[in-house]
Structure 1
Amino acid sequence: RRKSASYEIIGRPGTQWASLFETLATNVGEAPPVRPKPQTQDQLLGLFSAEVTGRDFQMEPATLFDMVGKTELVKPTLEVVYDAA
């Protein structure tokens, strides 16, 4: 099996992080279950309204300053002129 990321387990007993994870485990174990309040169909559809999801957001094209940090980009070019022979 290939290791996909470099990581270290920090929640071992006796380490500086042990008390944090012990407290977290205790709190999770003692917390009462919280059940969501049932919602109507209209309330559920309201979760995906344009105001909430940002579908009414209008995108604007990036300006030259946005892309390169300058208001004017000068690129010297080489112009080739062919004479009629």
Structure 2
Amino acid sequence: MNEHDLDALLAQARAPAPADEGAAERFLDGHRARRSRQRRMRAGTLATLLAAAAAVAGLTVLRPAPELPPSAAYQAYQSAWGDGW
């Protein structure tokens, strides 16, 4: 392949063909649609996480605290001072 053939091949590759018409628009339309889907999915995920956090916070506030057994140190301190300290 000589230099003239290579130049002709590169010129042919750079020349727009009928199939190239609207290719950029088709690519950008697909890209925009994909970005839009990603934004909607991200917004849905964020809403779900916020709802779950609100439910957990609500359950934590509404539920009474469990009765925890006193520690051994607390029991020793209480026995040293008596019940009415």
| TM-score normalised by structure 1 residue count | 0.28
Larger of the two Rg values belongs to structure: 2
| TM-score normalised by structure 2 residue count | 0.28
The structure where helix makes up a greater share of residues is 2
